A and B are shown apart, each in its own frame.
Chain A
Amino acid sequence: MRVAIAIAVAVVAAAPATAAARGCRDSSTTIGISKCHHYGTWDPGFPLALELDLFERSVDLGHVDTIADSIHYVGELGRVHATGAMLRFYASLSRHVYVGLLVTAARSADLPPVAYENPNAGVGFTSNIGAVIYDGALVGVRAAIGRLQLGAELSPELVIGTPAGSETVGELNARLSADVWLTSTVTIGARLGVDVIAPGDRTVGLGVGVHFAAFDGAR
Chain B
Amino acid sequence: MAPLDYDRWRVPPSALAIHLSIGQAYAFSVFNLPLSKLLGGAVASPDDWSVSQIGWVFSMAIVVLGLSAALFGRWLERVGPRRAMATAAACFAGGFFVGAAGIATHQFWLLLFGYGVLGGIGLGIGYISPVSTLLKWFPDRPGMATGLAIMGFGGGAMIASPLSVALMAHFRSATSPGVAETFLTLGAIYFVMMLFGAFTVRVPAPGWVPVHARGVVRATRTPDVVSVSARDAVRTAPFWLLWIMLCTNVTAGIGVLGQASAMIQETFPGRIGVEAAAGFVGILSLANLCGRFLWSSLSDHIGRRATYLTFFSLGTVLYATVPSSGRSGSIVLFVLAFVVVLTMYGGAFATIPAYLRDLFGTQEVGAIHGRLLTAWSTAGIAGPALVNYVREYRVMSGVPKSDAYGVTMYVMAGLLLIGLGAAWRLRGLQRSLATVGAERLA
**A and B associate in one complex:** no
